[in-house]
Structure 1
Amino acid sequence: MSLKLITENIDEVTVLRQTRGLTEGAVLSGVFIVMLLLSIFVPFLITILMWFLPLPFIVFAARHGLKSGFIMFAVTILLSGIIGGVIGLPHALLAGAGGLTAGELIRRQKEALLVLAGSSIAYIGVLVLLYAGSILILDIDPINAMQDVMRQSTQQAESMLGALGQEPSENLEIWEDMINQIGYLGPVLIVFTGVIYGLITQLAAHMVLQRLKMNVEPFPPLREWNFPRSLLWYYLITSIIFFIGTEEGTALYVVMWNLFPLLETAMALQGFTVVFYYCYVKSIHKVFPIILLISGLFLPFVLLLARILGIIDLGFQLKKRLKPDTK
């Protein structure tokens, strides 16, 4: 008799859990659809809401697992296609794939950097599919379309200078060369977009999940981040090939133009970890390295110095040689 009661209680708990999961999934799906509609019909909101679209998927997968998350994903894909059409469907695919990946990894209590890697790969995969679909189905190359818009802006600038009686400056010619090179940078643009999107959405998800009293592995301090030392050799080889030069349009040319910016970014980030570590061991206020990191987004010489520091750190383990002040 007692066994029967225990079995009935277990069944009731299971039903309640499933009911609660369905209710929460319906609510979070509704939240996603509302944000999607606002981003579609109120264009200026897309710059804000795009960072929060994956949050319903992250929260649901973190609480209920990947299997239930796929059901929510299927429902939102269907609703997005019906309500948002061609515009809504890509947003749902991107947010759902990355959000479910991040949510499941968070549920498994994985390290924050591993969660970032997993969600970034998911975002990059969907971006590649969307890019290929745009070319094959819509016959539109997004990168070429972006180049056309930039060329039109350049032509307008040249026309304005001509109307003012001035000759086009060398800066405009350099800008035109940069526009032409963008056509080779499709892969690196997709990778950067996926990683940055994954990072910002994960930071937002951490705040939400902590408010929901869920355990989330935080990001380690930037001073503790380290890239593999082998990356230094890849960077040196790539730099040599890049500066020697390759024939434009060849496969090696495309690879170098995409690989070199990624490795330069990795070296600069490694250099900033040295700055943060130095300030930490020397008890310098953390505002200083934060300002330096932000200034690196606008001042090329700061990035150059950070890159040099990163190379030294990977080559000679500079951070291990820094000792804290003794008091």
Structure 2
Amino acid sequence: MKYRWTSAVWSVVYLLLLLSLSTPFLIITTLFVIIPAVLLFTTLNTRQFILSIVPVWLILGLISPLYIWIAAYLIVPALVMGRWYKKKSPASTVIVAGTITLLGEFLLLLLLGKTLFQFDLYNYVYDVLNEMRTMALSPMQEFGMGGFLGGSPEDIGNNSRAFIQVIPMALIVSSFLITVITHSIVRPILNSMGYAVPKLKPARDWRMPKSFIWYYLIAAVIQLFFLKSDNGLLVMITANLVPLLRICFIIQTIGFFFFLAHERNWNRTIPVILAVLAIMVPPLWIIGIIDLVAPLREMVTKSKR
């Protein structure tokens, strides 16, 4: 794409999204913050891309040097995804590359915080939970209702440890979510601009490896027998692996619903409703396990004949 007004517009959007990270809207805007950089890198050559990014970074630097660090941190996954888009790589490759890059950066950030700044994650989480409890307790005490709100230091400590244990899963899910949202928005925009970008497989073709069943069984057994174990690493691994695999089974279930709807020529809204139910009603992920173990899709195809 030639350097034109659309590039300037995306540069402005890029600036506004980065600035929004210091506002309460960051919970939402974080999901979209790398989109402008991906679009600019994919559609412009290196010189034009630099000309679009540098003014944004200069403005950020004048406001606060911290913005420069944030922008530099977030530009890496944008460059990775943009590079794969330029190579016309499959959508799954782009998503995996973006997810791994974001996850690696999250882990690197935690490592640097621990080694360089002696950042103690447990104490930080404990202080946040304790402060939240204090804020909730203050207005209740004014009405003489403070006794209804529990939460001893020991309880807060246990909650802090439980929260830290699931951080790996939270990082994986958040990295994947940001990447998927970015791809779902970037792809149609690039296609409208004349850049052919491969799309993901249809939902009806989504299938997980059968080995996931064995991973889940092993993790569930370990979690059952070592729930109160002193082996913190083992508890952390199972506490993250089990829910992650359940998410995979939910995806398998959604894929089966779309496959069934496609084979039966159902209305398009039906599999969407079923997909929402699969997410909202946890026991339905068992359908995904059955779909992996038994040839459900083959049975549906044969019954159609």
Which band: TM-score by shorter chain? Answer: 0.7 to 0.9
Which one of the candidate residues 197, 200, 204 is aligned to 1:216? 197
Number of equivalences: 300
CA contact (8 A) 1:143 1:186 kept: no
Distance 2:52 2:171 in 1: 23
Report the residue type matching 1:110 in the other structure: S
Unaligned runs of 5+ in 2: none
CA contact (8 A) 1:154 1:176 kept: no
CA contact (8 A) 2:81 2:97 kept: yes
Distance 1:157 1:44 in 2: 19
Which position in structure 2 is the counterpart of 1:133?
Answer: 112
Which one of the candidate residues 34, 44, 51 is aligned to 2:31? 51
Percent sequence identity is 23
Alignment of 1:110 with 2:89, yes or no, is yes
Query: Where do 1:238-317 residues align within 5 Å?
Result: 238-246=219-227, 247-297=229-279, 299=280, 302-306=281-285, 308-317=286-295
Shift of 1:215: 0.9
Which position in structure 2 is the counterpart of 1:7?
Answer: none
**Residue 167 and residue 35 in structure 1: after superposition, are their counterparts in 2 closer, same or farther (change >3 A)?**
closer
Query: Where do 1:5-24 residues align within 5 Å?
Result: 20=2
Which position in structure 1 is the counterpart of 2:76?
Answer: 97
Report the residue type matching 1:201 in the other structure: T
Secondary structure at the aligned position of 2:165 is classed as coil
**Residue 83 and residue 135 in structure 1: after superposition, are their counterparts in 2 closer, same or farther (change >3 A)?**
farther
Shift of 1:124: 1.0
Distance 1:188 1:211 in 2: 35
Distance 2:148 2:256 in 1: 45
Distance 1:75 1:303 in 2: 47
Distance 1:234 1:77 in 2: 46
Shift of 1:53: 2.3
Alignment of 1:122 with 2:101, yes or no, is yes
Bigger relative contact order, structure 1 or 2 (CA pairs below 8 A, ≥6 apart):
2
Distance 1:107 1:214 in 2: 9
Unaligned runs of 5+ in 1: 1-16
> Residue deviations 1:187-231, cap 9 Å, x none?
222111111111111111123213322212122222211111222
Which one of the candidate residues 34, 46, 62 is aligned to 2:42? 62
Which position in structure 1 is the counterpart of 2:217?
Answer: 236
Alignment of 1:322 with 2:278, yes or no, is no
> Residue deviations 1:285-321, cap 9 Å, x none?
2323323333454x4xx22222x11111122232232
TM-score (norm 1): 0.76
Secondary structure at the aligned position of 1:149 is classed as helix
**Residue 223 and residue 326 in structure 1: after superposition, are their counterparts in 2 closer, same or farther (change >3 A)?**
closer
